[in-house]
Amino acid sequence: MKIEKANAGHLTNFEVLDFLRKRGAKTDPMGCLGAVAASECKVYEYLLKTPACNQTRESVTEFASTCEGFKLTDADKQNIINWRPTSAADVYAMVEECGKRFCKDERGVPQDEEDRAKELVALVNEIFPAPPAKPKDEVDMKPEDEVDAKPEDEVDVDMKDS
């Protein structure tokens, strides 16, 4: 592989997934042999469990152009595209200084920052398909029962001088 332009920019999970699909990555490790490296198959398998699995180039482009009024940095846009927030709390976690940047709209008119975060979530829900459903076995998984750690029975050993 030849690097044509070093540090040209960051890639979204969708772009990496699309690239791996074009290279022939599969979830079956035996099907990947020769086409891509085993590590690329692992990355492909992981990305199929993220919101990137059902995004399209059109939806990513549409979001990038439609969200201009939210004063998002490129890194913010990338986080939102990669992780697809489903609540205002998710937006606050993904967007740096969300409160400061969302307190005014694109025209400088004061806004309720929580309403702006909800608007962004609505935009995400409108543009991107729903995230993949978690497999039933992952949802129902419960932590293994913790075994109470009890100290072993103490043995009194009298050490007598002989």
> Looking at the 3D structure of the chain, how many domains does it have?
2
8 Å CB contact between 72 and 6: no
Q: What does pTM read for this prediction? A: 0.73
d(CA 162, CA 149): 36
**In the prediction, which pLDDT does 107 show?**
75
Measuring CA to CA, which residue among 42, 41, 55 is closest to residue 13? 55
Q: Are residues 22 and 40 in the same domain?
A: yes
**In the prediction, which pLDDT does 7 show?**
65
**In the prediction, which pLDDT does 103 show?**
82
**In the prediction, which pLDDT does 76 show?**
94
Range of the domain at 68: 57-131
| Segment (H or E) for 25 | none
d(CA 49, CA 71): 29
**In the prediction, which pLDDT does 138 show?**
55
**In the prediction, which pLDDT does 162 show?**
44
Q: Are residues 101 and 81 in the same domain?
A: yes
Residue 84 lies in a domain: yes
In the chain (162 residues long), the average pLDDT of successive 10-residue segments reads 68 93 82 77 92 94 92 93 94 89 77 90 94 63 47 49 48
Q: Are residues 50 and 71 in the same domain?
A: no
8 Å CB contact between 117 and 92: yes
